[in-house]
Amino acid sequence: MGQEELMSQAEDVADQFLRVTKQYLPHLARLCLISTFLEDGIRMWFQWNEQKEYIEATWGCGYFLATCFVLLNLTGQLGGCVLILSRHFVQYACFGLFGIIALQTVAYSILWDIKFLMRNLALGGGLLLLLAESRSEGKSMFAGVPSMGESSPKQYMQLGGRVLLVLMFMTLLHFDPSFFSILQNMVGTALIILVAIGFKTKLAALTLVIWLLAINVYFNAFWAVPAYKPMHDFLKYDFFQTTSVIGGLLLVVALGPGGVSMDEKKKEW
């Protein structure tokens, strides 16, 4: 009974948090989610020549194609962020950002780096959840029309988004024999499984948000590193990528797990 009571109290705290933040949470989630694209688009502007020279040297594609690559990244990311934040053409903006992720995965050889590949896939999971949210908003326009239930595409977008999001946490697991690392791995693994299968989803996702936020601020403190050092850019990139995944998890908290989840199935039992 002790564990059940503790879990019940934790769920009550999570529900109370949701009631207080209901109006603001989706906006915060979207802002966090697009933060890595916003930061990368701004970086393309300030590091225009460096980015262009890198692509030209790496791929031997010439000045014109390298310039087109940087311009596409800059306009695609900043334009997508503006559309998402303004709630206009959100689905098109998400598809555009999916394309940017795929393009960068190939251009920067992320495909062969399993850690960065998993993080890019986690970003894609966040965008899937954003797509699911935009479908909800579209359907709310027809609130008075009878419905046969939640649409299958939205359900599977939410499922896919949840599963892809947990890939971020798999890159944070540390395989060393210290007690703290073992405890962190066990708790983290249990939480990501709960989010993936959609059981106690809002509580698990909110716990992961707190955990990931603490890890992000502690390990990716780019502001503590001088701007001229390469580590500054690396930590900054990592910080905003992690912030985007936090945004995806906040969408899970705000929207719930969707129809394909144990939480939803429990209502039928």
**pLDDT digits 0-9 by tens, 166-186:** 888 777 776 677 777 788 788
User: Which pTM value belongs to this model?
Assistant: 0.85
pLDDT at 137 over 80: no
CB of 242 within 8 A of CB of 216? yes
**pLDDT tens by residue, 161-170:** 998 988 887 7
Q: How far apart are CA 239 and CA 241, in angstroms?
A: 6
pLDDT at 146: 40
pLDDT at 186: 85
**pLDDT tens by residue, 196-217:** 888 888 889 999 899 889 889 9
Q: Which structure tokens are listed for 185?
A: 């791995």
**pLDDT tens by residue, 13-50:** 777 877 888 888 989 999 999 999 999 999 999 999 99
Q: How far apart are CA 52 and CA 69, in angstroms?
A: 8
Q: How far apart are CA 121 and CA 105, in angstroms?
A: 10
Look up tokens 């936090």; give the residue: 246
CB of 199 within 8 A of CB of 6? no
Which residue has better confidence, 11 or 218? 218
Structure-derived torsion over alpha carbons of residues 148, 153, 154, 155, reported in degrees to the nearest 10: 80
Q: How far apart are CA 204 and CA 89, in angstroms?
A: 31
Q: Which structure tokens are listed for 33?
A: 């989610």
| 3-class SS of residue 230 | helix
pLDDT at 231 over 90: yes
pLDDT at 135: 79
